[in-house]
Amino acid sequence: MTKIQQNGAFLVKDQKDIDHLAEMTIGANGAPDRKYVGKDATFILEEAGISYTGHPTVITMDVDKDNPLVKTEMLMPILPLVCEPDFDAVLATGLEVEGGNHHTASIHSNNIQHINKAAHRMNTSIFVANGPTFAATGVGDNGYYSGAAALTIATPTGEGTTTAKTFTRRRRFNCPQGFSLRSWEV
């Protein structure tokens, strides 16, 4: 947690505050409350009445895998973290909370066997190792993140990486600091 905090995350520790964030940001219909979608972390923290220092860019907390913040696509800077004892438990939890959508997954690891196993087990249209998930969508202007822009309509959830040329599902894997199947640039 220390590393993520050093990079702009605000750690919410009080369970009452975590529960309040979930109630406040997830509507009765189970979808994110539009009032908070796309807002920055400071706006959400202020609305929740949670004191903070500095200018946090993301809100994080240690939660159980069944927490609604884990299973809801939040579309806001809330990053719940679920701790597990080992890689196999992490992968099992990742598969469970991904819910069979097969859309996007990522892993941060130096173990190529873990990366390979996760890529195959997750079986998502977008899979990124050691980088942000947007690395596989063609955004950015450097060798790590640039590439063909993608439309999002053809993965198993009805969204996904397609091009205007083919409108077919292409699976993408990107490891910005190691290799990319889409680019020879370093």
Q: Please check whether residues 74 and 52 belong to one and the same domain.
A: yes
Residue 94 carries which side chain, given as an amino acid letter?
G
Give percent above pLDDT 90 in the chain. Answer: 53
Residue ranges of alpha helices (H) inside the chain are 2-6, 15-25, 41-48, 68-71, 87-98, 112-122
User: What are the pLDDT digits (tens) for 152-171?
Assistant: 544 555 555 555 565 555 56
What are the tens digits of pLDDT across the range 28-84?
999 999 999 999 999 999 999 999 999 999 999 999 999 999 999 899 999 999 999
For residues 96-101, give the mean pLDDT: 90
* Judgement on whether residues 52 and 95 belong to the same structural domain of the protein: no
Tokens describing residue 144: 């790590």
Determine contact, residues 20/68, Cβ cutoff 8 Å.
no
> Do 71 and 95 have their domain in common?
no
Domain span at residue 33 reads: 1-83
- Cβ proximity of 138 and 94 under 8 Å: no
Side by side, which strands form the sheet with 58-62? 9-11, 58-62, 78-81
- Look at the chain and report how many structural domains it folds into: 2
- Helices 112-122 and 87-98, axial angle in degrees (round to 10): 20
pLDDT the model gives residue 185: 45
Rounded to two decimals, the pTM is: 0.76
The domain boundary, picked from 83, 116, 134, lies at 83
